[in-house]
Amino acid sequence: PALAVADGEVVATLDGLPDQIPGDLPEGLTFAESDGNHVVLKIAEGVYVLYAHFAPGSVAVKVGDHVTRGEVLGLVGNSGNTSAPHLHLHVMDGPSALDANGLPYVFESFLLTAINNEGTEAFDLAETTGAPVPLDAITPPVLYQSLLVMDQWLVDWVAP
């Protein structure tokens, strides 16, 4: 499940696009289909959050809904311009991912549980072959606060 990162109002959704076949980027998508099945929340004046690439038929909210932090918005999938299932999340200054600027943000808290120390090449190989990403466990997990999750980190979300 993809959860709302903050209270907000649903200002855009798209649902019904198929998941892509993992391993290759799709061809022939329109700009409107690039984020796949998605939700956009307005969480403050001039602050919007995009959640993209949901599974088809899983968007659980509609435009005009007010959601609370932690509420399920949909299920992570592989729709749109993507080669592997994942959640694309970013904060922006407008309601359209194609016509907005990104804004800096941090997460209140999370536990770092593992790291892919072999880097992006190992991740890319796993993505194209379907093999597991090599992960080194962090034992015990490390609590971070007011930080952005770094590339190749595996985290669990915790309440602040």
Order of strands across the sheet that contains 37-44: 66-67, 8-14, 37-44, 47-54, 88-92
pTM, whole model, 2 decimals? 0.88
Render pLDDT for 135-149 as a digit per residue (tens, 0 to 9): 999 999 999 999 999
pLDDT of residue 159: 64
Q: Which residue has the tokens 């007010």?
A: 66
- Closest by CA to 155, choosing from 121, 82, 95, 106, is 106
- Band of residue 40 on the pLDDT scale cut at 50, 70, 90: very high
Render pLDDT for 51-73 as a digit per residue (tens, 0 to 9): 999 999 999 999 999 999 999 99
Judge whether 39 and 80 are in contact, CB under 8 Å.
Answer: no
